[in-house]
Chains A and B, each alone.
Chain A
């Protein structure tokens, strides 16, 4: 597997413009002769589909939900970063770049991150032009707030529904192209395979969720915008249908998978409260702007929070990190919450929660101001927990949220399969070992609106394409492979339910194994034990899972089973990746590698690289390759938020 990052030469702030000039173009009149497939309609997929169609390509877009408007980007609450420096508080493109690369604990590519910071300003302009109703100051200018890991106010927001509003903007642009006929939209399709012809991605195989039909779709290039794999843990803040299948099938067809163990555990989520629970709900990080995080100083203090006097409270983030306080990056906040709970200071019925308290903010700013800022989040919290954050502190605990790992891509966002691109959360590109808040929306839209069209033009402009037919060769093979696999999943359902188990039972077992051993803190012993345990769970799945219904109808159990089958394979490479990285960095805390103050201790001499995994066939151990990370413009330092 060859890893050529194709990072352009030249000074950091000229790389992107040099690259755009060096890349080949496709003449506007010729673009209609090319077809491009986009899988996924979140921020990355919807914006890419719209932009490519506007430029004249024929686009076929696929989504798993009933409408492209429902992709999980919609759930992002807090905001989107940009280096506008509208607040005149010292921000710049270089500072956003530096904060992002430092926040990622120096495990991302400099050139990619700089480009992201550079494009961030155009995104805000574009979204405003579309009519996205961002929050405004009374004078009519755009409002900003601050987010974790930054000391400037650069986050643009639309109440607590920023993801929704940005996605509806992109969905509007996509809808306009559907109306014009330049995008053909296929909803309720699940991608099952990438079709590779002569070493290049030339199409996909999908399952029509409404009929069970397996369909082939050919094109000249394929773009995956299929999101992250947080649901490998069963419980996460992801939507129920978020899965690894598309990325995993691409991996099995030859796409390298980068840093699969890099998973962001978000610090402010509603704690787990029962084994019937289907998902965890995130409370926006923006709450940490005004909420103070604390636990009782003494273990097993069972008093109600209001009855615990100031002197018996430990505002541990403010005490430990005076300069960033409650606004430390997510990985630091999460790890510290776990540490407090491990010491027995956790609160709530399970002891796995800490307080996020607004009492001081309400005293300082008044009820109305705080309600205006966070009212919709408070309502959401109250609906779930029946407790009012205006009256008593919220209880929060970290939960799996975002995956920094993903398909390896070069500077053009192309995977190791020529013609197969990956954008948004499903690639690994910009966040290193930890993503800063309000940067996911920025990356999704940067990739989709402003980067991918340049990459696609270059690829199409430098390649010659033979016509491929959906009725022959690799397309038939791929369909047959998908059909066989579905038949195998359904095999156990013959002969009743005795001795069988359900898909969810197996998914929950996998989730517990991953959370316990490959979650917020990892060590060799636990990871090795988990790796040894995986084959047993996989075997249970293939020999005992019972699925009602057939493949020729709407069958939601079958949909889930297919995804769980892939999570069970994927978990293996995740654990291997966590084992191989014997340093701590960002989200990845190897207990063997900590500073004296229990902070993550990086090992730049040995691990300043992206780990990229190659699939070598069923039953074979995957092979790890390294893309060295070279820092020309910043000097990696031990992160400090004190």
Chain B
């Protein structure tokens, strides 16, 4: 591993709470090891601020291995930063140069109110799942798992969609503030599998309706979501969502 270090200028969005006015503050940070992750770089900044008696930067994070979906910020205009298919916690400082200025902002969207600094409220995504992002089976009494053969290719396609970590980067980077990639990932997973067929139409209608209630916009094929998705979820899923929704609307009459 390369043990070199770099010096950075950080411009970070600071906002005390949802009601307060926010703004960018500038910090100089020297001696950042290039093997550090982006969040470890923020840890170093926060230790420094704490020692100076200042308020550290609030940001959401948990697993720090790219799977829980809790972390995320916009770095120089790109959700999760410049590396493709990478969450913020898995972005390493070796991708930056000494002297770089990094502008770090929260995932902004009408449906994601900022709570403090880089920390936003993404509970709207939970409510979209609650509207129907599941197969309605109770615990117990399921038939033998091998009684339901599923073509390997179909299972793989479903898995491609199921890989969504619910981080909200797609929403933050969409010019319309749409949650279509997120919603379509779950709708696709279940539409592709036999287990999802019974509730297929109802699911598409309910989840899309909830998306609208939460104040998310609609898809205009800008493809920004796909470009920043840390799990590489394709907008083909959005096309599938549109088909599922149309079929449901037309057949429900």
Contacts and interface: CB of A to CB of B under 8 A. Distances in A.
Interface stretch (A175-183, A420-428, A602-610): A175-183
Interface stretch (A92-100, A133-141, A196-204, A480-488): A133-141
Contacts of B33: 274, 276
B13 interface: no
A172 interface: yes
A128 B142 contact: yes
Contacts of A278: 37, 39-40, 43, 64
A75 B135 contact: no
Contact of B50 (A129, A178, A548): A548
Contacts of A165: 159, 162
B28 interface: no
B136 A176 contact: yes
A326 interface: no
A172 B133 contact: yes
Interface string B31-51: 001011101100110010111
A75 B67 contact: yes
Given A74-B68, A133-B159, A380-B90, A51 B139 contact: yes
B229 to A, nearest CB: 15
Nearest to A158: B159
Interface centre among A138, A279, A553 (most CB of B within 10 A): A279
A515 B136 CA distance: 46
Interface stretch (A251-259, A299-307, A496-504, A627-635): A496-504
Contacts of B55: 548-549
A172 B162 contact: no
Interface string B130-147: 110111111110111110
Interface in B1-15: 1-3
Interface stretch (A107-115, A118-126, A312-320): A118-126
B64 A136 contact: no
Assign chain A's interface to a size class. 35 or more
Interface in B51-89: 51-56, 58, 60-70, 83, 86
A239 B62 contact: yes
B129 A553 contact: no
B158 interface: yes
Nearest to B17: A553
Interface secondary structure of B, over-half rule:
loop
Highest count of chain B CB atoms <10 Å: which of A131, A277, A380: A131
Contacts of A502: 47, 50-51
A241 interface: yes
Contacts of B148: 128
A548 B166 CA distance: 31
B176 interface: no
Contacts of B202: none
A176 B63 contact: no
A282 B142 CA distance: 33
A383 B142 CA distance: 40
> What 10 A-B pairs come out closest when comparing CB atoms?
A140-B149, A172-B134, A129-B142, A125-B142, A128-B145, A131-B195, A133-B159, A179-B130, A239-B62, A136-B152
B121 interface: yes
Contact of A386 (B44, B94, B190, B196): B94
Contacts of B139: 47, 50-51, 54, 126, 173, 449-450, 453
Contacts of B54: 548
12 contacts: A65-B62, A67-B70, A86-B146, A128-B145, A128-B148, A129-B137, A131-B134, A349-B1, A450-B140, A504-B43, A546-B51, A554-B116
Contact of B64 (A84, A134, A279, A504): A279
Given A131-B135, A175-B133, A72 B155 contact: no
B62 A70 contact: yes
Contacts of A47: 139
A8 B175 CA distance: 62
A19 B66 CA distance: 42
Contacts of A50: 139
B114 to A, nearest CB: 11
